[in-house]
C-alpha cells in the first residue's frame, strides 16, 4: 500500500511539473526544500541518522537547483544576493549535518520562507520577469 501511495505521489508531482510555469516550479522547489529541512530536523531530534542524511541530501539538492536556476545576466543585484543567500544556506545545512544542529536548519527555513514570501507576492503579469531563469 505504501509503495502504491508513493508511486501515485511521484506520478502526480511529475504531472504537475509537466504543466507548471517556471514561476510555479520555483514555488514547488521552495516548498520541497522546506519539507526536506523539516524532515531533517525531525530525524536529528529522533537520532535517525540514516534519514537525516537522506533528507539533508535532498534539501541540498533543491537549494543547489535554486541557485543554479538564477539568471545571473539579469540587471541589478538580486541574482547575486540570492546566490549569496543560497551559498550561506548550503553552509548552514552542512553544519547542521555535521553537528546535528537543529538551529542551523531553523535558520535556513526562516530564510527560505522569507524568499518564498517575496516570490509568492510577484504578480502573475510579472512571472516572466524574474531573477531565476525562465529556461528551467
Q: Are 104 and 92 in contact (CB under 8 A)?
A: yes
11-25, 28-42, 96-110, range with the lowest pLDDT: 11-25
Cα angle 59, 108, 76; round to 5: 100
Looking at per-residue pLDDT, the higher value among 61 and 1 belongs to: 61
- One DSSP character per residue, the chain reads -HHHHHHHHHHHHHHHHHH--HHHHHHHHHHHHHHHHHHHHHHHHTT-HHHHHHHHHHHHHHHHHHHHTB-TTSSSSHHHHHHHHHHHHHHHHHHHHHHT-HHHHHHHHHHHHHHHHHHHTS-GGGTTSSSB-TT-
pLDDT of residue 135 exceeding 50, the answer is: no
Taking residues 110-128, what's their average pLDDT? 89
pLDDT of residue 133 exceeding 80, the answer is: no
Instruction: Give the pLDDT confidence score for residue 69 in this predicted structure.
Output: 93
Residue 8 DSSP label: H
Q: Which three cell numbers stand for residue 31?
A: 516548498
Q: Which of 132, 126, 134, 115 is nearest to 21 (CA)?
A: 134
> Other CB atoms closer than 10 Å to residue 56's CB: what's the count?
22
Taking residues 17-40, what's their average pLDDT? 90
Q: Are 109 and 37 in contact (CB under 8 A)?
A: yes
46-55, 79-88, 120-129, range with the lowest pLDDT: 120-129
Amino acid at each position: 500500500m505504501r509503495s502504491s501511495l508513493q508511486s501515485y505521489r511521484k506520478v502526480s508531482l511529475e504531472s504537475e511539473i509537466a504543466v507548471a510555469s517556471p514561476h510555479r516550479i520555483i514555488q514547488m522547489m521552495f516548498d520541497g526544500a522546506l519539507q526536506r529541512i523539516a524532515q531533517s530536523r525531525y530525524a536529528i531530534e529522533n537520532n535517525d541518522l540514516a534519514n537525516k542524511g537522506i533528507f539533508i541530501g535532498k534539501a541540498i539538492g533543491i537549494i543547489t537547483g535554486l541557485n543554479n536556476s538564477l539568471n545571473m545576466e539579469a540587471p541589478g543585484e538580486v541574482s547575486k544576493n540570492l546566490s549569496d543567500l543560497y551559498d550561506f544556506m548550503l553552509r548552514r545545512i552542512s553544519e547542521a549535518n555535521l553537528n546535528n544542529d537543529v538551529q542551523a536548519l531553523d535558520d535556513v527555513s526562516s530564510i527560505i520562507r522569507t524568499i518564498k514570501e517575496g516570490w509568492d507576492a510577484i504578480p502573475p503579469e510579472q512571472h516572466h520577469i524574474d531573477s531565476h531563469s525562465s529556461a528551467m
